[in-house]
Structure 1
Amino acid sequence: MNLESPEIYDPLLVIMLAAMASYVSRGLGALLSGRLDPDGSVVEWITCITYALMAGLVVRMLILPIGALTATPDWVRLVAAGVGLLIFFVFRKNVGLGVAAGSATLALLTW
């Protein structure tokens, strides 16, 4: 079996591999959570990586959208990102509220 064979892209195999990756990382997190200092450098590093991944995905969706997002005008995506960023800062850097506000704005402007 090589990367060009169709068997490697079997949906069940892909789902199983994704589930394994998810559960292994969750298990490691559960095992190490009591030993990590919430204000320590490891947690700070993980937080930085998380923010970087989120920022990279947002920029990717704004500049080079794929799928249904390509049908939305650039200004709609930029306004939604701006609203999400504004809410993020207004509510003391709450990522969840920022993402929810940006997503809701995008949904409302494309309705």
Structure 2
Amino acid sequence: MSTFIGDWHALLVLVIAGFLPNEAWRMLGLWFGGGVDEGSELLVWVRAVATAILAGVIAQILVLPPGALASVPDWLRYGAVAAGFAAFMLTQRSIFAGVVCGEIVMLAGKWWLG
């Protein structure tokens, strides 16, 4: 079993230093934000900023890909994004369907290229 789990000390440090501090803030946010109106101007602005940041990160990864993604041709990356967006729109804005479709196109294209 220890070969499957690996070094349990590292897992313990990961849980204590990474998981627990984040969960405390999540629970506080859930507790404080429970009664906040989702249509308020502040939350609309927060949602817009979060969407803009996510779009910027996706654009940066698409244009200047890091690591192994740099070995994927540009046309395949852009095609996977286009296919994922098309699936997103065709499935009544299902994020899951868009991501899965984009991943399938990326993996199939990379497999086809060898």
TM norm structure 2: 0.69
- Report how far residue 89 of structure 1 moved: 2.2
Residues 84, 99 of structure 1: 8 Å contact kept: yes
**Which residue matches 1:63?**
63
Alignment of 1:87-98 (within 5 A): 87-98=87-98
Say how many residue pairs are matched: 102
RMSD of the alignment, in Å? 2.6
- 2:6 corresponds in structure 1 to none
1:29: Cα distance to partner?
A: 2.3
Relative to its length, the structure with more helix (as a share) is: 2
Unaligned runs of 5+ in 1: 1-11
Runs of 4+ in 1 over 3 A off after TM superposition: 12-21
Q: Is the 8 A contact 1:83 1:105 kept in 2?
A: yes
**Structure 2 unpaired stretches of 5+:** 1-11
Verify: 1:105 aligned to 2:102, yes or no.
no
Task: Tell me if structure 2 keeps the 8 A contact 1:84–1:98.
Answer: yes
Partner of 1:31: 31
Distance 1:54 1:110, change over 3 A: same
CA distance in 2: counterparts of 1:28 and 1:81, whole angstroms: 35
Structure with higher Rg: it is 2
User: TM-score scaled by structure 1?
Assistant: 0.70
Alignment identity in percent?
Answer: 27
